């Protein structure tokens, strides 16, 4: 018999969104005439803005001429994109970094899933609950989960985020090696303010812990007092890695481009006591296992950080924000408890009457032809909730909410 990674044995049979897709397919096969509207998976509906399309066309033309053709690019990303990110996302907010601390990739999902390769198998991982499944699954696949029972892994420290604590995780009672934070949060749609992030940075410095900070939805923050980057907190560059994506900011779900910021100040200690720099380790990992984001995509991404694309993107972002506002108003009208949606494209809806998450998902699909995401798929504390996304078109979002209203009434 072939030897395999036994850690996979404890994983659920399907990734959450694969299971959602399976149930939707089954419903469509049973009801081929049904017009299904998805408020589930967080894919965008608006097209790439004109300035990004123009940059793509220009880059494609360059690839067709010998004098401007590009082959293999730098695994960490082209300098022109790293400099654009540095200028517009960090220096503009008073965050001092170096461009070579920014690593371009094909998306934040890949980065948060792959970065755990730098951790020891005995590292203690802390996750908020509910949580984006990739954080949990990627560590479980690496053997850090322990035994999987009742929806949780025995070796992972879970930090419940509930209505009672305003969906803000408490600091761990014990020391952990790594903690994953996401703000604006997926799935709850809530944010961590400056005081909360400061407490986490202080905890990490005191306990020699690493913060994995997912800021993929930072562009949805409407209040300028709320940090868009953890590096706005003094000392965070000593304890945190940050992940960002152009998927929701610029509609790159189909193009695939994101980046990780790994400060040079970040260090870790090997088993023999050797002090290593995570920046150098991540560079080594990427150079070994990754061939880089395509040149034409990086040129398109560069345009997204400049005018007129930024103004064009802001208009599209406003469409999704209006959809979220529409969702919150409908929930209030129906007397449903809903959270998030203000600084996030996600609305965290409490299921009525204590209905469990998958039962509400099935009811909404069967009776309204509307798809949501069951909250329990994000963790035990997500039971009794579903996630709605604001990424569909305004017309389909309105139609879905009208169907929801009829079902609830």
Strand extents, DSSP E, 252-405:
258-261, 267-269, 275-277, 338-340, 346-350, 370-371, 373-374, 385-389
Q: Is the pLDDT confidence value at 2 over 80? A: no
Answer whether 345's CB lies under 8 Å from 42's CB. Answer: yes
Q: By C-alpha distance, which of 49, 61, 52 is closest to 303?
A: 52
Q: Based on the domain organization, do 12 and 152 belong to the same domain?
A: no
Q: Based on the domain organization, do 37 and 186 belong to the same domain?
A: no
Q: Based on the domain organization, do 275 and 340 belong to the same domain?
A: no
Q: Is residue 221 part of a domain?
A: yes
**CA 333, CA 96: separation in Å to the nearest integer?**
45
CATH number at residue 290: 3.40.640.10
Q: Is residue 128 part of a domain?
A: yes
How confident is the model at residue 13, as a pLDDT? 66
Q: Is residue 137 part of a domain?
A: yes
Instruction: Read off the pLDDT of residues 28-72 as tens digits, 9 standing for 90 and up.
Output: 999 999 999 999 878 999 999 999 999 999 999 999 999 999 999
Q: 10 Å Cβ neighbour count for 222? A: 10
The three-state DSSP-derived secondary structure of 331-347 is: HHHCCCCEEECCCCCEE
Q: Is residue 271 part of a domain?
A: yes
pLDDT category, 189, cuts 50, 70, 90?
A: very high
Q: Based on the domain organization, do 123 and 238 belong to the same domain?
A: yes
The whole-model pTM stands at 0.95
Q: In sequence order, what are the beta bridge partners of 229?
A: none
Write down which residue in 269, 304, 339 finishes a domain.
Answer: 304
- Parent domain of 20: 6-47+310-408
Q: Is residue 1 part of a domain?
A: no
The helix-helix angle for 295-304 and 309-333 (nearest 10°) equals 70
Q: Based on the domain organization, do 88 and 140 belong to the same domain?
A: yes
Q: By C-alpha distance, which of 360, 385, 377 is closest to 18?
A: 377
Q: Based on the domain organization, do 171 and 232 belong to the same domain?
A: yes
**CA 371, CA 292: separation in Å to the nearest integer?**
35
Residue 90 carries which DSSP code?
I
Q: Based on the domain organization, do 247 and 385 belong to the same domain?
A: no
Domains in the chain, number: 2
Instruction: Read off the pLDDT of residues 93-135 as tens digits, 9 standing for 90 and up.
Output: 999 999 999 999 999 999 999 999 999 999 999 999 999 999 9
Q: Based on the domain organization, do 292 and 343 belong to the same domain?
A: no
Write down which residue in 283, 304, 325 finishes a domain.
Answer: 304
CATH number at residue 10: 3.90.1150.10
Write down which residue in 304, 321, 350 finishes a domain.
Answer: 304
Q: Is residue 335 part of a domain?
A: yes
Give the mean pLDDT of 241-249: 96
Q: By C-alpha distance, which of 196, 241, 192, 259 is closest to 221?
A: 192
Strand extents, DSSP E, 267-372:
267-269, 275-277, 338-340, 346-350, 370-371
Q: Based on the domain organization, do 376 and 295 belong to the same domain?
A: no
Q: Based on the domain organization, do 126 and 254 belong to the same domain?
A: yes
Q: Is the pLDDT confidence value at 315 over 80? A: yes
Q: How many residues does the chain have?
A: 409
Q: Based on the domain organization, do 119 and 226 belong to the same domain?
A: yes
Q: Based on the domain organization, do 354 and 263 belong to the same domain?
A: no
How confident is the model at residue 1, as a pLDDT? 57
Q: Is residue 65 part of a domain?
A: yes
């Amino acid at each position: 018999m072939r030897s395999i990674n036994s850690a996979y044995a404890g994983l659920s049979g399907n990734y959450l969104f694969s299971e959602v897709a399976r149930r939707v397919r089954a419903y469509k096969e049973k009801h081929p005439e049904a017009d299904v509207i998805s408020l589930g998976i967080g894919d965008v509906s608006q097209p790439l803005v004109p300035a990004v399309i123009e940059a793509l066309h220009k880059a494609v033309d360059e690839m067709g001429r010998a004098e401007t053709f590009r082959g293999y690019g730098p695994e960490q990303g082209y300098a022109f994109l790293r400099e654009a990110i540095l200028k517009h996302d960090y220096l503009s907010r008073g965050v001092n970094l170096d461009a070579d601390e920014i690593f371009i990739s094909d998306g934040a999902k890949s980065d948060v899933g792959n970065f755990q390769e730098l951790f020891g198998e005995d590292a203690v991982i802390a996750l908020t609950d509910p949580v984006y499944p990739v954080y949990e699954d990627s560590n479980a696949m690496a053997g850090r989960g322990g035994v999987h029972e009742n929806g949780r892994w025995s070796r992972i420290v879970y930090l419940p985020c509930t209505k009672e604590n305003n969906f803000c995780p408490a600091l761990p009672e014990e020391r952990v090696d790594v903690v994953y934070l996401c703000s604006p949060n997926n799935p709850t749609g809530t944010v961590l303010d400056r005081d909360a992030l400061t407490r986490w940075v202080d905890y990490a410095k005191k306990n020699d812990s690493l913060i994995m900070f997912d800021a993929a939805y930072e562009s949805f923050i409407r209040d300028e007092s709320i940090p868009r980057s953890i590096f706005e907190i003094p000392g965070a560059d000593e304890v945190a890695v940050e992940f960002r994506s152009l998927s929701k900011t610029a509609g790159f779900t189909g193009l695939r481009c994101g980046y990780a910021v790994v400060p040079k100040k970040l260090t870790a200690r090997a088993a023999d006591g050797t002090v290593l720099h995570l920046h150098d380790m991540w560079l080594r990992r990427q150079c070994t296992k990754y061939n880089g984001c395509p040149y034409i995509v990086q040129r398109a991404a560069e345009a997204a950080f400049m005018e007129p694309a930024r103004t064009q993107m802001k208009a599209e972002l406003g469409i999704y924000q209006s959809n979220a506002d529409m969702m919150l108003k409908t929930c209030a009208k129906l007397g449903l408890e809903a959270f998030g949606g203000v600084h996030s494209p996600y609305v965290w809806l409490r299921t009525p009457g204590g209905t469990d998450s998958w039962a509400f998902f099935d009811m909404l699909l069967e009776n309204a032809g509307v798809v949501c995401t069951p909250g329990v798929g994000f963790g035990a504390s997500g039971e009794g909730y579903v996630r709605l996304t604001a990424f569909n078109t305004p017309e389909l979002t309105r139609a879905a909410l009208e169907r929801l209203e009829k079902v609830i009434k």
